[in-house]
Structure 1
Amino acid sequence: MELSFPERLFRESWGELEAPALDGGWELFMESTGFTVYRLYDQQSGLYEYKVFGGLSDCPPQLCVDVYMDLEYRKQWDQYVKELYEEESERGKFIYWEVKYPFPLSNRDYVCVRECRDLDVAGEKVWVILAKSVTVPQCPEKPGIIRVSSYKQSVAIKSDGKNGSRVFMNYFDNPGGMIPSWLINWAAKSGVPSFLQEMQKACKKYPH
C-alpha cells in the first residue's frame, strides 16, 4: 500500500468544513458537547463510518494540530495508549500504535501513515491531517494482539474567528476479532465525544 495520499483527499477534507458532504446514506447519529456526528452503514463489515462536525473553544487551530501530531504527548493524555512510536521504513515513516482493550478482549494495534498539511484556502489557513493503515515488512503482527488492517481518518481544522477552532473529522475503524458489530457501534457512541473532550483538555494542558 502507498505511504502517501492523493491531493483530492486534502481538498475533500477542508471542503467539508464549509459544505458537509452528507448525501448517499449519511444519517444523524448524535449531538454532544458542541459536536454533531453522522454515520454511514458499511454493509461489508456491519460497522459504521463516521463524520464529526463541531468546535473546540479556547483551542486555537495551531495548538490543536500540535497536540494531535505530538505522539509523545499523546501517551500522557490518552489512557488507551499502550505503545506508540514513529519509525522509518524504506518507503517512508510509519506509526506503530497499540491500543488497550478491556479484559477479556485482546488489545489492537495499528500500523499507519499520516500526513499533515497547512493550506491556504481563499486567504484563510486550514490544516488537514490524513491517516490510513498500511503494511510494512518490519512490523509483523504480534501474538495475542489483533492487527487493525482497515483504518482511515481525516481531520480538517481552521479558526472559528475567535480563540477556538472549527473541526471536521471523518473516520472508519474495523477492530476485527470476535467483537459483535452491535457492541462496536455502541462503544462509538461514547468514544467519539469522550475522545474530543479529552483532546480539548489536553490542549489546555499542553506544555508549550
Structure 2
Amino acid sequence: MQQADHFSEEDFREACEELEAPARTSRGWETLVEAEDCHVYRRLDEQSGLYEYKAFGSFKNCPAALCADVYMDLEYRKKWDSYVKELYEKKIQGKMVVYWEVNYPFPMYNRDYVYVRGRRELDLNGRTVHVILAKNFSTSELPEKDGIVRVTDYKQSLMIESDGSNGCKVSMFYHDNPGGSIPSWLINWAAKNGVPNFLKDILNACKNYHKKT
C-alpha cells in the first residue's frame, strides 16, 4: 500500500541517499554498536546539541514487504512493542495523523508524538526498496496532556530491501528532541541497547505476523 501524501518523491529519494551513505566512513559519525546483524552509529547535530542515529540490521526469513507491513500496522505494534502506552491514527483535516505515547521509566514523564507518515516502493538503481518516512505534525485537535512531554522535533526514515534470499536488510535514520532533562545513562542505554532490541522485536513481530489476532 502506498501512503505518501505528506511527502514528495524528492523526500523519499533524499532519505534513500542519506541511508545509502556509509556511516562508518562519513565525517562526524561514530560507532556505537558493531555486531554481526546490527550496526548503530550516531552523529552530533551542532545546531540542536542532540544526536541523530543510523542503524542497519539484517533479518533472516523475513521478506522486505512483510517487514514494511509489520512496521506500518499500528494495531499490531500495540501487541509487540512494550513501550507503547497509547497509539492510534486519526483523520484530521483530511490527513491521517498518528498519536503515540511512549512509556518512560519512573520517575520521568512519558513522551508523546503527533506525526504523519508515508510509505512508497521505489526502484533504486535496479533494486526494489520499501521506504517509510515520518515527521512531527502540529495540530490543535491533539493538544498536549498534563504529565506528558510532547516531542515536537521528530524525524525518522526506514529503507527496507531484500537481502537476495528470503530475508531483508533494514536501514534506519532517526532524530528527535525528547525535551526535558533525560539522564545521560538512559540516552546511552537507548542508543546502545534500545535500537538493537527494537530491531529484534520487529523481527519477532514479523515471524508472528500471520498468527496475529
Tell whether the structures are fold-level matches, with TM greater than 0.5: yes
- Of 125, 128, 136, the match for 1:125: 128
Stretches of structure 1 lacking an aligned partner (at least 5 in a row): none
1:32-74 per-residue CA deviation (whole Å, 9 max, x = no partner) reads 3511111111234432100112311111101100100000000
Q: Structure 1 CA distance, aligned partners of 2:28 and 2:20?
A: 20
Deviations 1:89-111 (A, max 9, x none): 11511100001111111111000
Q: Which one-letter code corresponds to 2:199 in the other structure?
A: L
Structure 1 length-normalised TM? 0.91
Q: CA deviation at 1:179?
A: 1.4
The number of aligned residues is: 206
Pick from 84, 103, 107: which aligns with 1:81? 84
Correspondence for 2:165: 162
Normalized against structure 2, the TM-score is what? 0.89
Q: Structure 2, unaligned stretches of length 5 or more?
A: none
Within a 5 Å distance, the mapping from 1:66-77 to structure 2 comes to 66-77=69-80
Q: Which residue, out of 12, 15, 19, partners 2:14?
A: 12
Partners of 2:149 and 2:66 in 1: how far apart? 33
Are the counterparts in 1 of residues 61 and 167 from structure 2 also a CA contact under 8 Å?
A: yes
Query: Per the alignment, do residues 181 and 42 of structure 1 end up closer, same or farther by CA in structure 2, a change over 3 Å counting?
Result: farther
Matches within 5 A, 1:1-208: 4-15=6-17, 18-20=20-22, 23-181=26-184, 183-207=186-210
Q: How has the CA–CA distance of structure 1 residues 164 and 16 changed in structure 2, closer, same or farther, with 3 Å as cutoff?
A: farther
Aligned residue identity for 1:10: F
Shift of 1:177: 1.2
The farther-off stretch of 38-47 and 160-169 is 38-47
Let me know the Cα RMSD of the aligned residues.
Answer: 1.9
Q: Which of 43-52 and 159-168 deviates more?
A: 43-52
CA 138–88 in structure 1, closer or farther in 2 if over 3 Å, else same: same
Q: CA deviation at 1:144?
A: 0.6
SS at the partner of 2:210? coil
Separation of aligned partners in 2, 1:72 and 1:207: 14
